[in-house]
Structure 1
Amino acid sequence: MSSTNYTTRTEGQTKICTIIWTIPTFVNLLENVTKREFRVEKAKDPKTEFTHSKFQLKMQFLGRYNDIIEISYLSPNPVFLKSILTICLKRFEERTIVIKEYHTVQANKWQYLATLFKRDIASYDGRDIFLLSDGSLRLKVQFMVTNDIKIDRSTVPEAQLSNDLENLLNDGLFSDVIIKSAEGIEFKVHKAVLASRSAVLKAHFEHNTTECYTNVIESLLESTVLQEVLTFIYSDKAPRVDDIPEKLLAAADYYQLNRLKSLCEEALHKKLTVENAIETLQLADLHSANTLKQLTLEFIKDGQAKLITKTEGWAQVKSVDLIKRIYEYIMADDFDADIK
């Protein structure tokens, strides 16, 4: 009858469960071809409540002459663990047979641990390789269970979703609708993608609209801008946002693409100068780009008011409301003198 010894210890967030399984007169078991499976006895000590007492071990004899021995284990709960199988030898020596690095183990499903071979355990020339002096086989199995899951993702490929969707746009594969630029250039696109990204484009397909029957959308955007808008819709990238931020801001506002709109505001803020401050403020006001409007007003207030009043942009301002808004925001002591 086999015997088992259970121990456990904790190191940081890792609990190490050790099972020592001793199977006496193991050679006799190898010669018995009628019984092909042995399992470790469960602990009877009620104090051993932790996982080590719940792990089960199983040994199966395979082959016509029990030439192969497979060892498996079972956990009643899903865990993240590392397992080590060691054979205890004579003279208190040990030999580690297998180390399985951290991985997720399913609950109540036998997991393969290791394979032993009859020829390595006990030879017929009198040399017992893996057996103790009394002929028993002693196995030590350690389960290192942790909740501190840190997986090396260096070998995990980079995400390809945005690239794959962008390729879908470029290839036009499986397209079910056409969107035309102001010049009449056609882009083959997909209703599901457009509708999922823009509420405005979604509305084209929700009601009894012309687009529902023709599957053609007429856009007022010129082709270069429309291409960028579609690229953003499919890939969430805006490669030319620094080149044409003004046009993309208008397009993003029209199609309610809030992230693209924010990218445009950021690009325009980076390009903000004394010469273009008024035009930028008007553009922000026209397209409800509140962040850009606030940043531009701060730019004007921050000692730039006198210089800005001498620019062509200021000379061409026709909106009294805009001037009033700038004045009310700045409220500088010498502002009245500066603008005269």
Structure 2
Amino acid sequence: MSNINYTSRTEGQTKINTIIWTVPHFVNLLENKTTREFRTEKAKETCLDPICTRFHLKMQFLGRDNDIIEIYYLSPDPVFLKSILTICLKRFEERSIVIKEYHTVQANKWQYLATLFKRDITGYDGRDIFLLNDGSLRLKFQFIVSNDIKVEHSNVPEAQLSNDFENLLNNGLFSDVIMKSVEGNEYKVHKAVLASRSLVLKAHFEHNTTECQTNIVESPLEAEVLNEVLIFIYTDKAPSVDDVPEKLLAAADYYQLSRLKSLCEEALHKKLTVENAIETLQLAELHSAKILKQLTLEFIKDGQAKLITKTEGWAKVKSVDLIKAIYEYIMNDDIEADIK
């Protein structure tokens, strides 16, 4: 039987609902091949706020040996929310697994949130990576509900603003500036849209600059990357972020597109391996991607350091500061563990 703890608080126009789901003896649950689904029970709440019992959770076990665990949640009401899943580790540490930005959630329909892997829960050498000292798995869910944009009817048509702006980019209607890639590819765009989305692009049109006089912006980006950046600027979407996250991270940093930068960090985190950990850490350092840097250092710390020192990326490291940062991060964790 699992343990559920619900709390909620209000901040301005949003309500933050936190659910901590603790599943004891989780490895035993994984080893039970007949278990294909595990849900939270209906909570016996004393909380007078009905939001406390709004969300329900479940796990689905996939694969012959329950190698894949998919996490879902359900809301009885249609809402507009942001969801965050964090895993609670030993020594009071936490690790963010997934962050999904605000989107509409239908009522009484299970929503996919994240995937966990059995190999991450029980490491290759038998270490429990994601488990607490007593063998339990503890997940923290945060559902941030926007009260002022709450959806009252599930049949409301989907918002068309993103599609309309994408059409505006594609057909170039009423464009007043040309943006060129490094190869010379031209894109008909709009000053107002560019300036509203990027402080760097805004600066091109605020003063007596060459761009302001010629209405031509020369970009240092390749056409493939510039096209994706413009799609993001116009639609707030990044359809190819998983294909070229390294290049898009550099572009997002250059044009100060913070949300695109976060999407790139998430994509690079998902692709993190022993072989590319050093390159990813160098990339994060180069573009001030603090979240990616932190997640990569945690990856190295979690029993991967010895393997990483045998990779080609490690052999090519020339930065003493980078090696020092890795060493200090690992040693600091060990010192804290000895103190506790």
TM category, shorter: 0.5 to 0.7
1:15 equivalent in structure 2: none
Residues 158-203 of structure 1 deviation map (CA, whole Å, 9 limit, x = unaligned): 1000000010000100000000000000000000000000000000
CA change 1:188–1:220 in 2 (3 A) is: same
CA–CA distance in structure 1, aligned partners of residues 231 and 289 of structure 2: 22
CA change 1:296–1:333 in 2 (3 A) is: closer
Question: 1:332 Cα shift?
Answer: 7.6
2:228 equivalent in structure 1: 228
CA change 1:295–1:151 in 2 (3 A) is: closer
CA change 1:281–1:151 in 2 (3 A) is: closer
1:281 equivalent in structure 2: 281
Q: Secondary structure at the match of 2:217?
A: strand
Find out whether 1:187 has 2:172 as its counterpart.
no
CA–CA distance in structure 1, aligned partners of residues 256 and 244 of structure 2: 18
The letter of the residue matching 1:241 is: V
1:167 equivalent in structure 2: 167
Report runs of 4+ in structure 1 exceeding 3 Å deviation.
none
The letter of the residue matching 1:196 is: S
1:258 equivalent in structure 2: 258
Q: What is the TM-score normalised by the length of structure 1?
A: 0.53
The letter of the residue matching 1:226 is: L
Cα RMSD for the two superposed structures: 1.8
CA–CA distance in structure 1, aligned partners of residues 311 and 289 of structure 2: 23
Q: How many residues align?
A: 186
The letter of the residue matching 1:198 is: S
Q: What is the TM-score normalised by the length of structure 2?
A: 0.53
Find out whether 1:156 has 2:140 as its counterpart.
no
1:317 equivalent in structure 2: 317
CA–CA distance in structure 2, aligned partners of residues 298 and 316 of structure 1: 21
Find out whether 1:291 has 2:300 as its counterpart.
no
1:245 equivalent in structure 2: 245
Percent identity between the aligned chains? 84
Residues 8-63 of structure 1 deviation map (CA, whole Å, 9 limit, x = unaligned): xxxxxxxxxxxxxxxxxxxxxxxxxxxxxxxxxxxxxxxxxxxxxxxxxxxxxxxx
Residues 287-321 of structure 1 deviation map (CA, whole Å, 9 limit, x = unaligned): 00000000000000000000000000000000001
Structure 1 gap ranges (5+): 1-149, 335-340
CA–CA distance in structure 1, aligned partners of residues 270 and 217 of structure 2: 34
1:146 equivalent in structure 2: none
The letter of the residue matching 2:289 is: A
Structure 2 gap ranges (5+): 1-149, 335-340
